[in-house]
């Protein structure tokens, strides 16, 4: 029996686990599966999408579970502007800016992939309004400092070569090379490639490995719709979806060490408090594990650590800037190919009549460069690039706060977030799917791993990857409790 079927036979059908755990717990007669008999406790480290979903599934099966979260909020890399109170960090001033928008502004994940993906199905079950990007937006591409549509670039050899590479990437079989090496394009084309097949996957095209990226793209089973929430901030939805387990989360509790040498696992937090559990699920970002943010005793196995070394986590910044005029085109979707800002979204498209806000998603060397600047310099650098592309209109039309005269903008530097330290995991050139599986190999039936970097369903680096990893890891925990071997 494969993992998926084991989960189903336990009454945790993939969609049931996602759609109905509160029903499963609160309304026992409707419970399609048995509870799992377990005397011990499961501790989950990290309250992002993976940790919250794993807790939800385990709680629904009657297993005692709790979550230790380092930061002061739930959601991890799903974080919505309106929930933020750290005004200096985000706005560079002591009070929030009034963005002229009537849709949610996101600092982390800003859309989800797949109407039939785990997250997509849940949003549908809740009947939340959404907007598919391709239904309203036409992407633009920047070459020679001009942003044009694909139709405008018809006949441009470099443009076609990039699109051809991106479109056929899932079929790539050229071995252990970076995306840039695999594409073998001109330096003019490489800038666009870096946006569409580098930044798009959380780093640069000269560091991401083509081989595993291709395998991931091929493995991903949901449709390829890119969908924005129309009215609900992503973080609000996550919290309301998992309201059954939010009281099990201990905020401001950074775990510093995990000792699993005895029958009872000892988890020490930085406040000096010891927590105990029989099993631990670690869902912290890969960057935290790779930089020794949690020390394990005994140390992690070589299988886990050498697999982790096949993946990187690059710098990441989200910048949102308000303008008085939409000079980039009403029907623009994403705009790909800048150097300072390789990827930005006309974020109001299809969501607002006042579509005058740009959301910049910046990874890799471009994010590292911005990260070293002051906030004013960051905004100035982005405006300077936009001015080149749009003939000075960015500076001309940027909105300023009437009282302070500051530019209405928000900045989230994920690299500086102590318990995130960057963007998302990406595969290096020699990484394989076996490495992804090995990152999360359970240790001694005690230590388990989840989180976007451990997803083997083709969705690593995304919300769906995090959620799929929660389904995988809870299956592993339940198998180990029940003694089922697959
Ligand atoms: C800028 C940006 C844009 C993105 N855009 C998209 C998008 O449009 N669509 C999409 O699908 N995905 C997107 N993603 C990716 C998506 O947000 C993540 O893949 C997903 O949210 C990761 O969930 P997770 O549970 O694996 O990890 P996280 O959400 O990072 O959760 C891990 C948690 O562990 C906590 N933690 C860390 N160390 C400790 C410790 N020592 N003790 C206790 N807790 C600890 C952290 O504080 C965090 O809350 C984006 C990410 C970023 C950064």
Q: What tens digit of pLDDT does each residue of 214-234 get?
A: 999 999 999 999 999 999 999
Range of the domain at 357: 81-231+315-422
**Ligand 1 centre distance from Cα of residue 10 (Å):** 28
Per-residue pLDDT at 172 exceeds 60 = yes
Runs of H (alpha helix) within 349-456? 364-371, 375-389, 393-397, 433-439
pLDDT at 10 over 60: no
Q: What is the DSSP letter of 200?
A: G
Q: Is 337 in the pocket of ligand 1 (CB under 6 A)?
A: no
What percent of the chain has a predicted confidence (pLDDT) above 70? 93
Do 223 and 277 fall within a single domain? no
Query: Do residue 265 and residue 350 come from a single domain?
Result: no
**How far is 286 from 466, CA to CA, in rounded Å?**
12
Strand segments (E) across 96-198: 112-113, 130-132, 138-143, 146-148
| CB 318 near ligand 1, within 6 Å | yes
Quote the pLDDT of residue 466. Answer: 98
Q: What residues contact 184, with CB distance under 8 A and at least 6 apart?
A: none
- C-alpha distances out from residue 197 to 131, 169, 201, Å: 24, 9, 6
CA of 285 to the centre of ligand 1 (A): 7
- Asked if the model's pLDDT at residue 124 lies above 80, the reply is yes
Tokens 């979260």 map to which residue? Answer: 69
Structure token pair of residue 382 = 């982005």
The mean per-residue pLDDT over the stretch 385-395 comes to 98
Residues 433 and 405 in one domain: no
pLDDT band of residue 354 (cuts 50, 70, 90) is confident
pLDDT bin (cut points 50, 70, 90) of residue 355 is confident
| Cβ of 425 below 6 Å from ligand 1 | no
Asked if 278 and 412 sit in the same domain, the reply is no
Residue 97, helix vs strand vs coil? coil
Confidence label for 300 from pLDDT (cuts 50, 70 and 90): very high
Residues 101, 185, single domain; the answer is: yes
Is any ligand 1 atom within 6 A of the Cβ of residue 45? yes
Residues 37, 167, single domain; the answer is no
The whole-angstrom distance between residue 138's C-alpha and the CA centroid of its chain comes to 23
CA gap 159, 192 in Å, rounded: 8
For residue 392, how far is its CA from the centre of ligand 1 (angstroms)? 36
Where residue 348 falls among pLDDT bands split at 50, 70, 90? very high
Do 174 and 265 belong together in one domain? no
From 50, 73, 285, 449, give the residue whose CB has the most ligand 1 atoms within 8 Å, as the site to mutate: 285
The mean pLDDT of 288-296, rounded to a whole number, is 98
Atom of ligand 1 nearest to the CA of 414: 53
The CA-CA-CA angle for residues 136, 18, 53, to 5°, reads 100
The answer on 90 and 139 residing in a single domain is yes
Q: Which atom of ligand 1 is nearest to the CA of 255?
A: 42
List pLDDT tens digits, range 444-455.
999 999 999 999
Which residue is listed with tokens 């949102």?
A: 320
The sheet that has 64-68: what strands, in order across it? Answer: 249-250, 64-68, 41-45, 279-282, 447-449
Cα(376) to centroid(ligand 1), Å = 26
Query: How would residue 84 be classed by pLDDT, with cut points 50, 70 and 90?
Result: very high
372-380 mean pLDDT? 98
Pair 350, 471 in one domain: no
- From the CB of 109, is ligand 1 less than 6 Å away? yes
Task: Tell me which of 422, 448, 465 is where a domain ends.
Answer: 422
Query: CA 187 → CA 362, 398, 465, distances in Å?
Result: 20, 31, 32
**Beta sheet of 265-269, edge-to-edge order:** 274-277, 265-269, 255-259, 295-297
Residues 224 and 322 in one domain: yes
- Whose C-alpha lies nearest to ligand 1, atom 53? 423
* pLDDT of 15 over the 90 cut: no
Q: Average pLDDT in the 269-287 region?
A: 98
End residue of a domain, out of 406, 422, 438? 422
Contact 71, 45 (CB under 8 A): no
- H/E segment holding residue 288: helix 286-290
Specify whether 139 is located in the same domain as 222. Answer: yes
Which is more confident, 347 or 2?
347
The preferred substitution site among 44, 48, 345 for testing ligand 1, maximizing ligand atoms within 8 Å of CB, is 48
Q: What letter would DSSP give residue 429?
A: T
pLDDT band of 484, cuts 50, 70, 90: confident
pLDDT (mean) for 390-407: 96
Q: What is the CATH number of the domain that holds 199?
A: 3.50.50.60
8-state DSSP, 178:
B
Answer whether 254 contacts ligand 1 (Cβ < 6 A). yes
* Mean pLDDT along residues 333-351: 98
Q: What is the pLDDT of residue 396?
A: 98
pLDDT band, very low/low/confident/very high, at 212 (cuts 50, 70, 90): very high
Average pLDDT in the chain: 93
Who wins on pLDDT, 1 or 34? 34
Whose CA is closest to 286, among 444, 432, 422?
422
Answer yes or no: do 205 and 324 share one domain: yes
Instruction: Name the residue at shortest CA distance from atom 4 of ligand 1.
Output: 109
- Ranking 8-22, 29-43, 49-63, 377-391 by mean pLDDT, the lowest is 8-22
- Is residue 4 predicted with pLDDT exceeding 50? no
Ligand 1 pocket check: which of 73, 424, 449, 470 to mutate, most ligand atoms within 8 Å of Cβ?
A: 424
- Average pLDDT of the segment spanning 428-455: 97
Contact between residue 104 and residue 131 where contact means Cβ atoms under 8 Å apart = no
Distance, CA 405 to ligand 1 centroid (Å)? 33
Coil, strand or helix at 363: strand
Q: Could you say which DSSP state residue 153 is in?
A: T
Taking residues 29-46, report their average pLDDT.
80
The whole-number pLDDT of residue 353 equals 85
Q: How far apart are CA 178 and CA 218, in angstroms?
A: 17
Does ligand 1 come within 6 angstroms of the Cβ of 320?
Answer: no
Residue 36 above 60 pLDDT?
Answer: yes
Q: How far is 304 from 424, CA to CA, in rounded Å?
A: 18
Which of ligand 1's atoms lies nearest the C-alpha of 451?
A: 26
Model confidence band, residue 25 (pLDDT cutoffs 50, 70, 90): very low
Q: Is 288 in the pocket of ligand 1 (CB under 6 A)?
A: yes
Please, where are the H alpha helices in 294-432?
Answer: 302-308, 364-371, 375-389, 393-397
Q: What is the pLDDT of residue 103?
A: 96
From 57, 75, 77, the mutation candidate for ligand 1 (largest count of ligand atoms within 8 A of CB) is 77
Q: Is 287 in the pocket of ligand 1 (CB under 6 A)?
A: no
**Domain end among 402, 422, 442:** 422
Please state the domain count of the chain. Answer: 2
């Amino acid at each position: 029996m494969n993992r998926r079927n084991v989960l189903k036979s336990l009454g945790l059908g993939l969609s049931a686990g996602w759609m109905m755990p509160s029903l499963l717990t609160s309304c026992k007669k409707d419970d399609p599966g048995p509870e799992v008999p377990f005397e011990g406790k499961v501790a989950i480290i990290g309250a992002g999408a993976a940790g919250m979903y794993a807790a939800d599934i385990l709680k629904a099966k009657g297993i005692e579970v709790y979550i230790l979260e380092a930061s002061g909020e739930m959601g991890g890399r799903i974080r919505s502007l309106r929930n933020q109170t750290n005004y200096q960090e985000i706005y560079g001033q002591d009070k929030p800016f009034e963005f002229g928008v009537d849709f949610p502004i996101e600092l982390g994940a800003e859309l989800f992939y797949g109407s039939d993906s785990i997250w997509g199905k849940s949003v549908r079950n809740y009947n939340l309004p959404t907007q598919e990007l391709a239904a309203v937006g036409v992407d633009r591409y920047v070459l020679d400092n001009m942003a044009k549509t694909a139709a405008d670039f018809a006949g441009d050899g470099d443009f076609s070569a990039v699109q051809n590479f991106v479109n056929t990437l899932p079929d790539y079989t050229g071995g252990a090379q970076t995306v840039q090496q695999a594409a073998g394009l001109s330096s003019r084309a490489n800038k666009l490639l870096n946006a569409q097949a580098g930044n798009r996957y959380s780093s640069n095209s000269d560091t991401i490995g083509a081989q595993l990226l291709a395998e991931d793209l091929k493995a991903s089973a949901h449709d390829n719709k890119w969908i924005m929430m129309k009215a609900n901030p992503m973080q609000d939805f996550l919290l309301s979806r998992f309201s059954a387990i939010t009281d099990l989360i201990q905020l401001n509790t950074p775990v510093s060490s995990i000792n699993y040498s005895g029958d009872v696992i000892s988890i020490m937090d930085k406040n000096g408090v010891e927590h105990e559990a029989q099993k631990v699920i670690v869902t912290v970002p890969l960057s935290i594990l790779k930089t020794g943010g949690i020390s394990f005793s005994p140390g992690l196995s070589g299988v886990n650590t050498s697999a982790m070394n096949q993946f990187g986590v690059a710098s990441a910044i989200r910048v949102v800037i308000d303008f008085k005029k939409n000079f980039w085109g009403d029907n623009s979707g994403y705009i790909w190919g800048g150097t300072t800002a390789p990827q930005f979204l006309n974020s109001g498209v299809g969501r607002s009549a006042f579509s005058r806000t740009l959301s910049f998603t910046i990874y890799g060397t471009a994010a590292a460069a911005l990260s070293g600047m002051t906030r004013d310099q960051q905004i100035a650098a982005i405006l300077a690039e936009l001015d080149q592309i749009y003939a000075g209109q960015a500076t001309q039309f940027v909105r300023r706060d009437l009282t302070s005269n500051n530019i209405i903008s928000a900045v989230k530097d994920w690299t500086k977030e102590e318990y995130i330290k960057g963007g998302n995991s990406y595969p290096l050139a020699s990484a394989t799917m076996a490495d992804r599986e090995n990152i999360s190999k359970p240790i001694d039936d005690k230590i388990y791993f989840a989180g976007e970097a451990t997803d083997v369903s083709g969705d690593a680096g995304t919300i769906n990857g995090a959620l799929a990893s929660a389904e995988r890891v809870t299956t592993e925990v339940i198998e180990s409790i029940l003694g089922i071997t697959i």
